[in-house]
């Protein structure tokens, strides 16, 4: 993974921002940029972004493969879901959505067997399914 990664602009119906060209990392600014002037805010924003980009490890943000590995890793669905959200290639988008939905349904089946402690994730799952259905309708 020592490829020449670049900070790239990702533009999508549901996400606009900077991300890594080699993995699923995207920049999520923590809070609004601060600064005494607009230019200062932009500079702060960019330096925060560049710093986080430099620090992230591509291996920690794998892109979902279209052949999803079957071993059940908890919250794997989130990676697939994220990959679907940031997929900009429309020819791959449907496959991404289907991978994510399959993982989500599998996850939600296993959650329903152990409902304790899973309320938050179930909420996230419901939201994710909703977003995916919107994405699918966009096609």
**Residues contributing to the site for Zn ion (CB under 5 A):** 5, 20, 22-23, 25, 58
CB of 72 to Zn ion, least distance (A): 25
The nearer residue to Zn ion, 54 or 67, going by C-beta atoms, is: 54
Look at the alpha carbons of 31, 36, 42, 48 in this order and tell me if their dihedral is positive or negative: negative
Q: Least Å distance between CB 49 and Zn ion?
A: 13
CB of 21 to Zn ion, least distance (A): 7
Which CB sits closer to Zn ion, 27 or 45?
27
In whole angstroms, what is the distance from residue 104 CA to residue 99 CA? 9
For 74, phi and psi rounded to 5 degrees?
-60, 135
Shortest CA distance to 26 belongs to which of 42, 40, 5? 5
């Amino acid at each position: 993974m020592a490829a020449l990664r670049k900070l790239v602009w990702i533009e999508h119906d549901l996400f606009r921002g900077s991300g890594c060209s080699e993995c699923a990392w995207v920049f999520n600014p923590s809070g609004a940029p601060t600064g005494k002037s607009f230019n200062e805010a932009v500079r702060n924003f960019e330096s925060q972004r560049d710093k986080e980009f430099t620090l992230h490890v591509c291996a920690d943000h794998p892109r979902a493969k279209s052949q999803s590995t079957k071993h059940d890793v908890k919250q794997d669905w989130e990676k697939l879901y994220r990959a679907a959200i940031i997929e900009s290639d429309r020819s791959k988008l449907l496959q991404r959505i289907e991978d994510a939905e399959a993982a989500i349904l599998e996850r939600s089946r296993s959650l329903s067997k152990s409902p304790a402690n899973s309320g938050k994730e179930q909420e996230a799952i419901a939201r994710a399914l909703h977003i995916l259905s919107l994405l699918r309708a966009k096609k």
